[in-house]
Amino acid sequence: MPLGIYMDVHVPTAVTSALRRRGIDVLTSQEDGTTRATDEALLKRAIETERLFFTQDQDFLVIAQEYQASGTEFPGICFARQGVEVGRLIQDLELHLKCATAQELQNQLIFLPLR
């Protein structure tokens, strides 16, 4: 069974919809009622739900480094800069979610697109 993913507030709907069509368990910030939550609260929610966190917000790069430095466990963060082609995001996220284990992604900061 593929890993689940928690989508940050401003992730394009096209990404979410396409991943769901591919059988990925997606939870969006909007569905979870966390659209006004702080970045830290969003990541804590991903931890609580045991889902990989996807974002295009650079603030999470700092948060991930702080978590790694302090030894705070998190289920992994996938980061893509703004402007990455939607089709490429979908493909790369699907690959991670279907091929990697939760243990492999634990505490990792993954940059998309893959090369």
Give pLDDT tens digits for 61-93: 999 999 999 999 999 999 999 999 999 999 999
pLDDT < 50 positions in the chain: none
Residue 3's pLDDT is 86
Q: pTM (2 decimals)? A: 0.95
Q: How many domains does the chain have?
A: 1
CA 75 to chain centre: 9
Residue 63's pLDDT is 97
Residue 104's pLDDT is 96
Residue 24's pLDDT is 96
State the residue range of the domain holding 43: 5-112
Residue 57's pLDDT is 96
Domain with residue 24: its CATH number is: 3.40.50
What is the 3-class SS of 46-88, one letter each residue? HHHCCCEEEECCCHHHHHHHHHHHHCCCCCCEEEECCCCCHHH
Residue 26's pLDDT is 98
